[in-house]
Amino acid sequence: MFLSKAVLIPFALLCLGQSSTLRAQSTLAATPPMGWNSWNHFAEHVTDADVRTAADLMVSTGMRDAGYIYVNVDDTWQGSRDANGELHPNSRFPDMKKLGDYIHSKGLKFGIYSSPGPKTCGGFEGSFGHEIQDAQMYARWGVDFLKYDLCSMQDPMRELTAKNNGNTDAAFKMMIDAYRKMGDALKATNRPILYSLCQYGIAEPWKWGPEVGAQMWRTTDDIDDTWGRMTIIGLEQADLAPFAGPGHWNDPDMLEVGNGHMTTDEYRTHMSLWALLAAPLLAGNDLSKMAPEDKGILLNKEVIAIDQDSLGKQATRLYQRGDFSVWTKPLANGKVAVGMFNTALDSRDVSLDLTQIGFTQGATLHDVWENKDLGRRSGLYSRNIPKHGAALLILSK
Ligand code: GLA
């Protein structure tokens, strides 16, 4: 059958349109998502003005140009539903569409938060029973990112588990179905909305997250701004490397860098670990009060480049010896990023066996945090690492 030109051109346009939509979807989160989220600093006090100021500061501090693109409003923006079931923001957020437009006008993307349960963790309105309606509304507002937090859905899951004498299968299915429902609703909007699961690693979301349309999933319970919590989370990710890659990322939770309760060495450890883990980098600090050392950590180009490497490999732990561990992350250019972590309460002299990382003929070393070439080394590379500190190296042949 021959098709006339008049038919062929619209047909070609249709195909082009489809493939560009598909391309937009498949390149969503090609590297770990980067941005800022309101929760770790503002928590339930966040306002429209805070988010607009954060968007301004993302530009003026250089965060946007360093790759931090998403500006995400976390929990507590919601008001109540009207007679049509349409959800309205509360009085702290007068107009979400306008807020989204403002964020977009700064060359940034707009993120939002909800729950598959009737209530969010902060007790605000969730999306249960309104998934399609909410997804459509997000698309109208120009939302680019949804964090979907299990929260109150844990109640029916617990009831179901109790009814099934402790067997969690039905409860897990209920949860996965709920996440799929929102994933489908987001897809149906035809707007590329990055879908971020937050259910604290229950039922191994790294195994089913991609199937329900997610680009990232939390692997643990919440982080806080303490050395103890940050390292418990960061150093617990060793077995999850096979599940990370372009378009689908393990999320050990947002960054605490700059929130004031860790030392500079500890925040360097935090950032080094997250970069090696190819974790989403969602800053959670007050951008109006960034100390030079916090800027030095969050805006370090080489560290960001390790996180954002196009190969998308998550680091694995080469070994752990007492308080010292070594992690390696292969990079697209054939080099290897190496993290040396000292979790002890005092500084330590430690050594790295380069042959163990595959550099049997020696390697050229670059120290990322010191921004210093260390020249050729072979066999054992020894150095001192401060208490709770990290060294981040790039090794090449
Ligand atoms: C949960 C999430 C946090 C944050 C709060 C908001 O605890 O894990 O990241 O979103 O809810 O209530």
- pLDDT, tens digit, for every residue of 297-314? 999 999 999 999 999 999
> Residues of the chain with pLDDT > 90: what percent?
93
pLDDT of 235 above 90: yes
- Decide whether any atom of ligand 1 lies within 6 Å of the 121 Cβ: yes
- pLDDT, tens digit, for every residue of 174-224? 999 999 999 999 999 999 999 999 999 999 999 999 999 999 999 999 999
From the candidates 144, 149, 251, 309, give the one annotated as an active-site residue. Answer: 149
Tell me the C-alpha to C-alpha distance, in Å, between residue 307 and each of 162, 277, 393: 42, 7, 13
Q: Atom 6 (ligand 1): residue with closest C-alpha? A: 75
Q: Using CA of residue 81, residue 84, residue 85, residue 86, what is the dihedral sign? A: negative
The Å distance, Cα 126 to ligand 1 centre, comes to: 13
Classify residue 248 by burial, with Cβ atoms within 10 Å: 0-12, 13-18, 19+.
middle
pLDDT of 22 above 90: no
From the candidates 56, 184, 222, 323, give the one annotated as an active-site residue. Answer: 222
The Å distance, Cα 149 to ligand 1 centre, comes to: 7
pLDDT of 1 above 70: no
How many other CB atoms are found less than 10 A from the CB of residue 156? 16
**Crossing angle for the helix pair 227-234 and 264-276, to the nearest 10 degrees:** 20
Q: Is 221 a catalytic residue?
A: no
Q: Quote the pLDDT of residue 352.
A: 96
Q: Provide mean pLDDT across the span 259-268.
A: 98
Q: Which two tokens stand for residue 278?
A: 């190819």
Backbone torsions φ then ψ of 221, nearest 5 degrees = -70, 180
Q: Provide mean pLDDT across the span 18-35.
A: 70
Would you place residue 365 in the very low, low, confident or very high pLDDT band (cuts 50, 70, 90)? very high
Per-residue HEC secondary structure of the chain comes to: CCCCHHHHHHHHHHHHHHHHHHHHHHCCCCCCCEEEECHHHHHHHCCHHHHHHHHHHHHHCCHHHHCCCEEECCCCCEEEECCCCCEEECCCCCCHHHHHHHHHHCCCEEEEEECCCCECCCCCECCCCCHHHHHHHHHHHCCCEEEEECHHHHHHHHHHHHHCCCCCHHHHHHHHHHHHHHHHHHHHCCCCCEEEEECCCCCCHHHHCHHHCCCEEECCCCCCCCHHHHHHHHCCCHHHHHHCECCEEEECCCCCCCCCCCCHHHHHHHHHHHHHCCCCEEECCCHHHCCHHHHHHHCCHHHHHHHCCCCCCCCEEEEEECCEEEEEEECCCCCEEEEEEECCCCCEEEEEEHHHHCCCCCEEEEECCCCEEEEEECCEEEEEECCCCEEEEEEEC
pLDDT, averaged across the chain:
94
Q: Quote the pTM value.
A: 0.93
In contact, 187 and 213? CB cutoff 8 Å = yes
Would you place residue 20 in the very low, low, confident or very high pLDDT band (cuts 50, 70, 90)? very low
- pLDDT, tens digit, for every residue of 128-155? 999 999 999 999 999 999 999 999 999 9
Q: Which atom of ligand 1 is nearest to the CA of 254?
A: 9
Angle at 101 between CA 98 and CA 105, to 5 degrees: 140
pLDDT of 46 above 80: yes
Q: Quote the pLDDT of residue 284.
A: 97
Q: Quote the pLDDT of residue 24.
A: 44
Q: Quote the pLDDT of residue 27.
A: 80
pLDDT of 15 above 50: no
Q: Atom 11 (ligand 1): residue with closest C-alpha? A: 121
Q: Atom 3 (ligand 1): residue with closest C-alpha? A: 222
- pLDDT, tens digit, for every residue of 53-105? 999 999 999 999 999 999 999 999 999 999 999 999 999 999 999 999 999 99
- pLDDT, tens digit, for every residue of 154-172? 999 999 999 999 999 999 9
Q: Quote the pLDDT of residue 207.
A: 98
Q: Quote the pLDDT of residue 26.
A: 52
Report CA dihedral (386, 390, 391, 396) to the nearest 10 degrees: 160
Give me the residue label for tokens 């992350």.
Answer: 329
Q: Which atom of ligand 1 is nearest to the CA of 122?
A: 12
Separation between Cα atoms, residue 387 and residue 397, nearest integer Å: 30
Q: Is 149 a catalytic residue?
A: yes
Q: Is 193 left (phi over 0), alpha (psi -120 to 50) or beta?
A: beta
Would you place residue 21 in the very low, low, confident or very high pLDDT band (cuts 50, 70, 90)? very low
